[in-house]
Amino acid sequence: MSEFEGKVAVVTGGGSGIGEAIAKELAAAGAKVVVTDIKLDAAERVATSITEAGGTASAFEANSAIAADNERMVAFAVDTYGALHLAVNNAGIGAAPQPIGEYDVAAWDRVRSVDLDGVFYGLRYEIPAMLAAGGGAIVNMSSVLGSVGIAQNAAYVASKHALVGLTKVAALEYTAQGVRTNAVGPGFIDTPLVRSSLSAEALSALESEHAAGRLGTDAEVAALVLFLLSDKASFISGSYHLVDGGYSAH
Ligand SMILES: NC(=O)c1ccc[n+]([C@@H]2O[C@H](COP(=O)([O-])OP(=O)(O)OC[C@H]3O[C@@H](n4cnc5c(N)ncnc54)[C@H](O)[C@@H]3O)[C@@H](O)[C@H]2O)c1
């Protein structure tokens, strides 16, 4: 029997990149997956590719930064598949590099509203559904920038740090009732977006900041997330797990 057979999962920001890889791996391991994204067409592309591969998935349009969208997302999962057991609060955005003294306040609000408020709203509605289902597991997508800073990225760095704290509180409140919550901190991942936004020199410099000498892959992040969602991680809750190729080791 597949590891996640009989489990229902939601993956926010599942229409691209890391979320897409997680959604596909969860479905390949037997979970029924609700792929949510602010871009419905992106979520639909991923859900279709899962069903074409023999898995079970539905697309759902939701803006993580809106509380009511998170409530609707959870209700959709429960209505469609009968329960909710697993959640990956993965949707996240960045902002143009800028120092704090000149920071565009609207950009601060935009990043925080998705990267931090969105995770809180997810937890707010996922946890009651998981308690009703008899237990569950949640992964919040932080970043290596949830434990170290980089200049020119205040909103992202602050939000990714804050959600590590939020993860701890969720674990303190609900682990004994059967809902584990952890955070994951990827280093820089080799996505088309990262690659296309950097010059060859900048890409090579970024690669060398990882002890591995390269960027990570979506699959390497998904592997850690699936482990944390699985029963193999039954005594792991409230912690922050790096998958950063040694970026933060120096
Ligand atoms: N790529 C990296 O190097 C890296 C490193 C560390 C952490 N992360 C984190 O991993 C997560 C996924 O990043 P990615 O690289 O796969 O990005 P991505 O841009 O490829 O995918 C993010 C997805 O989230 C969706 N999204 C954006 N705003 C949303 C919103 N308000 N509501 C719902 N969906 C929304 C986008 O449409 C997109 O499909 C983010 O939280 C990011 O901060 C990425």
Concerning whether 156 is annotated as a catalytic residue, the answer is yes
Determine the pLDDT at residue 250. Answer: 85
- Could you tell me if the CB of 140 is within 6 A of ligand 1? no
β-pairing verdict for 32-37 and 136-141: unpaired
- DSSP classification of residue 156: H
Choose, from 125, 156, 174, 247, the residue flagged as catalytic.
156
Query: What six digits make up the tokens of 157?
Result: 């760095």
Q: Is the CB of 90 under 6 A from ligand 1?
A: yes
CB 64, CB 92: distance < 8 Å: no
Nearest residue to 243 via CA among 146, 114, 118, 116? 146
Helix, strand, coil shares of the chain as percentages rounded to 5? Answer: 50, 15, 30
Which stretches in the chain have pLDDT values below 70?
1
What pLDDT does residue 177 have?
A: 98
Instruction: Mention every residue, 6+ apart, whose C-beta is less than 8 A from residue 201.
Output: none
Q: Which pLDDT does position 11 carry in this prediction?
A: 99
Query: 17 CB less than 6 Å from ligand 1?
Result: yes
CB 216 within 8 A of CB 244: yes
Own/partner pairs, 223-229, CB within 8 angstroms, 24+ separation? 223/25, 224/184, 225/22, 225/25, 225/88, 225/139, 225/184, 226/3, 226/22, 226/25, 226/26, 226/29, 228/137, 228/139, 228/180, 228/182, 228/184, 229/4, 229/9, 229/26, 229/86, 229/88, 229/137, 229/139
Secondary structure of residue 130 in the 3-state scheme: helix
CA 176–ligand 1 middle distance (angstroms) = 30
**Does the CB atom of residue 191 touch ligand 1 within 6 A?**
yes
Close Cβ partners of 212 (under 8 Å, ≥ 6 residues apart): 245, 246
Distance of CA 196 from the midpoint of ligand 1 (Å): 16
The pLDDT value given to residue 169: 99
- pLDDT of res. 1: 59
Distance between CA 173 and CA 191 in Å, rounded? 35
Q: Give Cα separations from 8 to 22, 106, 122, 162, 216 (angstroms).
A: 13, 36, 15, 27, 27
Give the C-alpha separation, 202 to 112, whole Å: 26
Pocket test for ligand 1, best of 139, 163, 189, 198 (most atoms within 8 A of CB): 189
Q: What is the pTM of this model?
A: 0.98
- Three-state DSSP class for residue 65: coil
